[in-house]
Homo-oligomer: A and B are copies of this chain.
């Protein structure tokens, strides 16, 4: 059990409330363990019996300490930026042996001006043995501002023996430029499940680099990436699975290309052990014409039918 402080409920404005609704699909409340970072400042924060959030003293950001006693618990740490500027934050998660926790993060930008709004979240997960961690991260930007809306997350994940780590990351819309860097190291019998969903439109750019080292005997990884590129947007995926022990990995990247968009998929599979079994599949193509025709016979416009197909593809 970790120490607990009394939380003070803070009144949030409508823009912040609206952005939170989009980026926190579990529903953000000022209850339990939570930390809301607004325009580079922690504006409200609470601990729970088994989860303590401690402000860092050396760097901007927080340490989130999740005790073994946390079972089927949640912690919410959303970031909202409604003013331009650069916000860099370092969050470290310490998950004790046997904990079972869902961490709901995400960043939403509301940009009205002509200046750039950028958030770089550097998240590091130190996961003990026999733990079960689900990390959900939604990225979203809105607003009529012409200033770039930029999100460059760095995610480092160290998974201990017999632990399961599930990473669900979604770029919903509105993000002009993103560069994701994800590093994972898996211990013995550790399991990684990654689902990455990404949608770009207009002249947006997205780069996603992911490196998964299967170091432990019996470790496994399943990485699913689904993306849609519209307009003149450009996406580059570079997932890398490195089998250093007896392990299984399956990487699957599926992309839909529309309009004048372009997508590169550069998966790398690397087997350094005779019992490393690694499979990769990737496909890039346009929207399924038969599905389009079928939906249009139900009376949908082309745009409506495309929207339904894309939503299905990403879900």
User: Which residues on A are within 8 Å of B, measured CB to CB?
Assistant: 243, 255, 257-286
Contact = CB atoms under 8 A, between A and B. Distances in A.
A226 B122 CA distance: 40
5 contacts: A261-B274, A265-B268, A279-B285, A280-B281, A281-B281
A273 B261 CA distance: 7
A285 B280 contact: no
A268 B275 CA distance: 25
B267 A278 contact: no
Contacts of A255: 271
A282 B280 CA distance: 5
Chain A to chain B: the 8 pairs with minimum beta-carbon distance, closest first: A271-B284, A277-B285, A266-B268, A280-B282, A262-B272, A264-B270, A279-B283, A278-B284
A216 to B, nearest CB: 18
B269 A265 contact: yes
Nearest to A264: B270
B280 A271 contact: no
Contacts of A259: 274
Contact of A267 (B261, B275, B277, B280): B280
A45 to B, nearest CB: 44
Contacts of A260: 274
Nearest to A281: B281
Given A278-B283, A279-B282, A280-B280, A263 B257 contact: no
Contacts of A274: 257-261, 286
B270 A262 contact: yes
A279 B266 CA distance: 12
A223 to B, nearest CB: 13
A219 B167 CA distance: 38
Contacts of A262: 270-272
Contact of A270 (B243, B263, B268, B270): B263
